[in-house]
């Protein structure tokens, strides 16, 4: 048959489809069909193995922040220092490294602020999880599509539609440590197809009196930080869409007290508050220009403000930081489908970080300004990108792409990617890819490293196998290697930082996922990673082993669902190269399976077995005292009640 | 590492004996056949447009039929993201992802000769619906809708349909195909 095909000069086709095409319709209708997988399908057609958490999972396992969602994903973990949650995986996640070498997107909007390139994944994040439809984690560098920062991968958050709520929903939550949240959400889909979603929420937590053995001296209140763990936030979100048009805006203001002593200059057990404010507007229009050309246009605007107040160990005892940033950008993307076997993506983006202000003010004991330091930066960036997915055989695809980013203060940079995808049958996919990504120095880096602030690079190789055992079960395996270069390291001889560091991470991940028709879902994964840092030694806060296990099932009676989650965080090194032992944690959630007179509820127990455990802390100002580790919370409870009006 | 290699081998061994038709491939094959099983009004266009909206898998499977000839026209596959250009479609498959836009699609098309095909939803608004019954892919024909769109199904199509809805009598069952 292939010979005949060659003679007729047809493009190469696999026998399966060829059979179907020549089969008379009378016989075709008698053929047996195998239905598609019941497992959730990925939206992004990425040459990597995507992990997906849906709104269903969020409910079943009682996730409250994006950090909880990330923690449940294969090969990822988060670390808290009681200020922020930091994310790690695949050798990324050095202590204190803001969640920034990964890109976090909300409906296509890049959420990183433009001062620290931090993505906010805890209560300082932009979204209530009740508004999230799904979260996709796309490992592997993403600079070919998104440019700056997408070194480890991409986390793509898709919000729910107004039609999903179809009315007004009120929600109340109560949890351990006097934590409360109220939320009101209104959603509607109109006759003409327009969809509206509006939501507002407020969270308030008293927190705990915390004991830190590392600070236990008589002058330090015996290591007790009292009443310094409170946290509150306010969030607003709105989305309107009609046909291809979508306008979306979000706002969050989170204020947190810092109970730790992050630096030697701060004074333990004194008021120290941080305030993170983030907001954005994202407007997009997508349409098909004729039958073969898809177009997506986007405008975005972002605002970030940071403020902290603290007491310092200085004759002028009060310090304040007030940083602000604003940016906007436009992006025009096309996908041309002019040729049967090519999908050609191309476009350009312009981004203007027109305001990047860093301000540090110091006050005397009488609150007179003694020093007021201000720094201003700005940057604009023009990028062009192009990628082609070439289906050169029914079972083979080649994906080649590159993006060029030129920032006003830096040399232009190319980020290429090449991927080969093989689908021996509709249940199996193999992907091999090589890509390069980079991260530009942000305003904070420019302030810290001055003229030495230069981009950092990563080259990644990945091999992925995905196989559906049947329509209910899937196995995913991946092997990867990330080589990072031009990292900032302190050079003793120079007495300064220089971008000469390089590091290497290798690892493998294996995941099993199942979703049965009786409502039972399970997912379990193991990840092995081996990372060296810039000194060539084992990387700090990079566990060699990570395990995840999730099982959810309706309980007898079908009205309540139980969700059990277990996570294993392998042993890892602290900044002082102490090894913290591995820890297994379990969470249990009960949620109502269906609504009763518009009521639904959920109850979670976090750290079910009340395990005592420590995580690596980013503090290094007092070696030998144990400040390189932080004790985390024991068992906590959380209850949520929703009313649909 | 060894686990992964084993997994790889396992996948290949499975791939070797896969001789089944996936649902999306079958749907694409049906759409291809529908092109032959209707008398289309005379068209001046050089191309015959099969459009896929809201189902990437069917869209990709449909690519195998690119440039085949239908009644002297060249078959062109359009994988669409939005319903904007659907007036140029001869066959329009609306996948699960765009089913909510069906009223709008119907509005745009009016009575123009476009055959609309869906998986779900009422037959009322479309020409053909596909439905999985056991392990067979069945289809129902809405003759009333086809007539309004000046599309004339060939007898073979009506014979093989699970059901045919006529203009006057509501629903009439044809001899059941399969069980």
A28-55 pLDDT tens trace: 998 888 887 877 776 666 777 789 999 9
Instruction: Tell me the C-alpha distance between B15 and A487, whole Å.
Output: 43
CB A181 within 8 A of CB A641: no
The per-residue DSSP string of A328-350 comes to: EEEEEEEEE--STTEEEEEEEEE
DSSP β-bridge partners for residue A595: none
Relative to beta strand A132-139, strand A51-54 is antiparallel
Q: What pLDDT does residue B6 have? A: 59
| Chain A interface includes B28 (CB < 8 A) | yes
Collect all residues of chain A within an 8 Å Cβ-Cβ radius of residue B89.
Answer: 291
B92 to chain A, minimum CA–CA distance in Å? 12
Q: What pLDDT does residue B9 have? A: 55
CB B43 within 8 A of CB B70: no
In the predicted model, what is the mean pLDDT of residues A13-28?
Answer: 72
B19 to chain A, minimum CA–CA distance in Å? 8
pLDDT tens figures, A285-324: 999 999 999 999 999 999 999 999 999 999 999 999 999 9
Find, among A597, A525, A515, the residue nearest to A568 by Cα.
Answer: A525
Instruction: Tell me the C-alpha distance between A37 and A252, whole Å.
Output: 38
| Chain A interface includes B169 (CB < 8 A) | no
Which of A13, A243, A475 is facing B64, going by the closest CB pair?
A13
Answer yes or no: do B136 and A394 touch at CB < 8 A: no
Answer yes or no: do A193 and B104 touch at CB < 8 A: yes
Answer yes or no: do A17 and B33 touch at CB < 8 A: no
Answer yes or no: do A467 and B37 touch at CB < 8 A: no
Per-domain boundaries in chain B: 21-165
- CB contact residues (below 8 A), chain B span 80-109, against chain A: 80-85, 88-89, 100-101, 103-104
Per-domain boundaries in chain A: 2-644
Instruction: Give the CA distances from residue A94 to residues A140, A425, A538, A632, in Å, rounded to whole numbers and listed in that order.
Output: 18, 40, 12, 18
Residue A11: pLDDT band by 50, 70, 90 thresholds? very low
Where does chain B have alpha helices with state H? Answer: 2-16, 23-36, 56-62, 102-109, 143-148, 155-160
CB B147 within 8 A of CB B133: no
Residue A525's contacts (CB-CB under 8 Å, 6 or more residues apart) are A74, A75, A509, A510, A511, A512, A547, A548
Instruction: Give the CA distances from residue A138 to residues A56, A75, A156, A509, in Å, rounded to whole numbers and listed in that order.
Output: 20, 12, 8, 13
Q: What pLDDT does residue A34 have? A: 85
Distance of CA A173 to the CA centre of its chain: 24
Residue A448: pLDDT band by 50, 70, 90 thresholds? very high
Count of beta carbons in the 10 Å neighbourhood of residue A41: 11
Q: Phi first, then psi: what are they for A578, rounded to 5°?
A: -85, 145
More confident residue, A471 or A296: A296
In the predicted model, what is the mean pLDDT of residues A619-625?
Answer: 90
Share of chain A above pLDDT 90, in %: 81
Share of chain A above pLDDT 70, in %: 97
H or E, element range at A274? strand A273-289
Share of chain B above pLDDT 70, in %: 80
Collect all residues of chain A within an 8 Å Cβ-Cβ radius of residue B175.
Answer: none
Instruction: Give the number of beta-carbon pairs within 8 Å between A and B.
Output: 155
What is the CATH topology of the domain spanning B21-165? Answer: Rossmann fold (3.40.50)
Answer yes or no: do A291 and B76 touch at CB < 8 A: yes
Which of B36, B84, B136 is facing A287, going by the closest CB pair?
B84
Instruction: Tell me the C-alpha distance between A386 and A401, whole Å.
Output: 6
Instruction: Tell me the C-alpha distance between A86 and A95, whole Å.
Output: 8
| Conformation bin of residue A315: beta by default, left when phi > 0, alpha when psi is -120 to 50 | alpha
| Chain A interface includes B22 (CB < 8 A) | yes
In the predicted model, what is the mean pLDDT of residues A616-623?
Answer: 92
Which of B26, B64, B101 is facing A33, going by the closest CB pair?
B26
Q: What pLDDT does residue A45 have? A: 65
For an interface test with A, the pick among B64, B88, B99, B114 (most A C-beta atoms closer than 10 Å) comes out as B64
| Chain A interface includes B144 (CB < 8 A) | no
CA angle in degrees (0–180, nearest 5) for A41-A44-A47: 100
- CB contact residues (below 8 A), chain A span 301-340, against chain B: 337, 340
pLDDT tens figures, A249-264: 999 999 999 999 999 8
Count of beta carbons in the 10 Å neighbourhood of residue B152: 14
Collect all residues of chain A within an 8 Å Cβ-Cβ radius of residue B100.
Answer: 163, 189, 193
CB A289 within 8 A of CB A317: no
Collect all residues of chain B within an 8 Å Cβ-Cβ radius of residue A289.
Answer: 85
Q: What is the CA radius of gyration of chain A?
A: 26
More confident residue, A160 or B98: A160
Whole-number mean pLDDT of chain A? 92
Q: What pLDDT does residue B10 have? A: 55
The architecture of the domain spanning A2-644 is Beta Barrel (2.40)
Helix (H, G, I), strand (E, B) or coil at A549: strand
Find, among A301, A298, A300, A283, the residue nearest to A332 by Cα.
Answer: A298
Q: What is the dihedral of CA A457, A404, A103, A110, to 10 degrees?
A: 150
Which of B33, B100, B104 is facing A28, going by the closest CB pair?
B33
The single-letter DSSP state of residue B123 is G
Instruction: Tell me the C-alpha distance between A180 and A195, whole Å.
Output: 30
Answer yes or no: do A243 and B82 touch at CB < 8 A: yes
User: Within a 13 Å sphere around the CA of A541, how many CA atoms are in the beta-carbon half?
Assistant: 27
């Amino acid at each position: 048959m292939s010979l005949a095909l060659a003679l007729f000069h047809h493009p190469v086709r696999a026998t399966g489809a060829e059979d179907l095409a020549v089969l008379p319709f009378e016989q075709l209708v008698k053929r047996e069909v195998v239905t598609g997988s019941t497992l959730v399908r990925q939206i992004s057609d990425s040459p990597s193995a995507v992990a997906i958490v849906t709104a269903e999972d969020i409910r079943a396992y009682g996730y409250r922040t994006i950090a909880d969602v990330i923690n449940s994903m294969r090969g990822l973990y988060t670390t808290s220092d009681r200020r922020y949650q930091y994310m790690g995986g695949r050798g990324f996640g050095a202590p204190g490294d803001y969640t920034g070498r990964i890109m976090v997107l909300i409906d296509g909007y890049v959420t990183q602020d433009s001062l620290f390139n931090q993505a906010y994944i805890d209560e300082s994040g932009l979204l209530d999880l009740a508004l999230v439809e799904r979260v996709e984690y796309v490992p592997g560098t993403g600079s070919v599509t998104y440019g700056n920062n997408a070194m480890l991968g991409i986390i793509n958050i898709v919000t729910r539609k107004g039609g999903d709520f179809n009315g007004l929903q009120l929600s109340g939550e109560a949890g351990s440590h006097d934590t409360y949240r109220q939320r009101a959400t209104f959603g509607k889909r109109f006759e003409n197809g327009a969809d509206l979603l509006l939501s507002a929420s407020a969270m308030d937590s008293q927190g705990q009196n915390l004991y830190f053995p590392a600070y236990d001296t008589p002058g330090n209140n015996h290591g007790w930080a009292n009443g310094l763990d409170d946290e509150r936030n306010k969030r607003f979100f709105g989305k309107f869409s009609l046909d291809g048009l979508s306008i979306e805006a979000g706002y969050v203001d989170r204020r947190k007290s810092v109970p730790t002593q992050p630096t030697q200059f701060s004074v333990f057990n004194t008021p120290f508050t941080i305030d993170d404010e983030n907001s954005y507007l994202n407007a997009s229009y997508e349409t098909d220009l004729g039958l073969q050309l898809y177009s997506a246009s986007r405008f975005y605007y972002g605002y970030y403000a940071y403020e902290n107040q603290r007491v310092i160990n200085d004759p002028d005892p009060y310090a304040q930081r007030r940083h602000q940033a604003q940016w906007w950008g436009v992006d025009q993307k096309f996908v041309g489908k002019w040729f049967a076997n090519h999908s050609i993506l191309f476009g350009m983006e312009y981004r203007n970080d027109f305001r990047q202000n860093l301000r540090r003010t110091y006050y005397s004991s009488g609150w007179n300004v003694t020093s007021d330091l201000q720094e201003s930066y700005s940057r604009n960036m023009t990028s062009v990108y192009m990628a082609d997915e070439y289906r050169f055989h029914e079972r083979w695809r080649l994906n080649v792409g590159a993006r060029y980013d030129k920032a006003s203060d830096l040399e232009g940079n190319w980020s290429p990617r090449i991927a080969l995808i093989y689908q021996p049958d509709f249940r199996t996919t193999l992907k091999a890819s090589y890509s390069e990504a980079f991260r530009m120095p942000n305003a904070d880096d420019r302030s810290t490293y001055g003229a030495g602030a230069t981009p950092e690079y990563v080259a990644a190789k990945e091999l992925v196998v995905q196989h559906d055992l049947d329509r209910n079960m899937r196995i995913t395996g991946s092997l990867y290697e990330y080589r990072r270069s031009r990292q900032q390291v302190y050079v003793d001889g120079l007495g300064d930082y220089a971008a000469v560091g390089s590091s290497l991470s290798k690892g493998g991940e294996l995941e099993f996922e199942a979703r049965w028709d009786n409502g039972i879902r399970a997912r379990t994964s193991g990840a092995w990673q081996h990372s060296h840092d810039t000194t060539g030694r084992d990387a700090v806060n990079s566990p060699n082993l990570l395990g995840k296990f999730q099982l959810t099932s309706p309980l007898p009676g079908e009205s309540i669902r139980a969700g059990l989650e277990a996570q294993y965080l392998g042993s890892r090194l602290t900044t002082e190269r102490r090894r913290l032992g591995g820890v297994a944690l379990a969470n249990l959630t009960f949620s109502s399976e269906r609504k009763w007179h518009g009521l639904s509820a959920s109850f979670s127990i976090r750290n079910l077995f009340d395990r005592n455990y420590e995580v690596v802390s980013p503090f290094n100002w007092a070696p030998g005292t144990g400040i390189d580790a932080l004790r985390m919370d024991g068992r906590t409870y959380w209850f949520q009640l929703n009313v649909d009006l | 590492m060894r686990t992964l290699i084993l997994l790889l081998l396992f996948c290949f061994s499975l791939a070797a004996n896969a001789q089944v038709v996936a649902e999306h491939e079958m749907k694409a094959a049906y759409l291809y056949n529908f092109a032959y099983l209707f008398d289309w009004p005379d068209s001046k266009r050089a191309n015959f447009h099969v459009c896929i909206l809201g189902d990437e898998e069917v869209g990709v499977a449909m690519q195998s039929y690119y440039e085949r000839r239908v009644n002297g026209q060249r078959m062109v596959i359009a994988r669409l993201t939005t319903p904007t250009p659907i007036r140029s479609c001869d066959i329009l498959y609306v996948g699960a992802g765009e089913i909510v836009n069906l009223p709008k699609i119907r509005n745009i098309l009016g009575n123009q000769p476009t055959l609309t095909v869906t998986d779900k939803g009422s037959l009322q608004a479309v020409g053909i619906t596909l439905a999985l019954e056991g392990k067979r892919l069945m289809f129902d024909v809405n003759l009333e809708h086809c007539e309004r769109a000046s599309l004339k199904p060939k007898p073979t199509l009506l014979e093989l349909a699970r059901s045919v809805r006529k203009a006057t009598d509501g629903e009439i069952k044809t001899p059941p195909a399969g069980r």
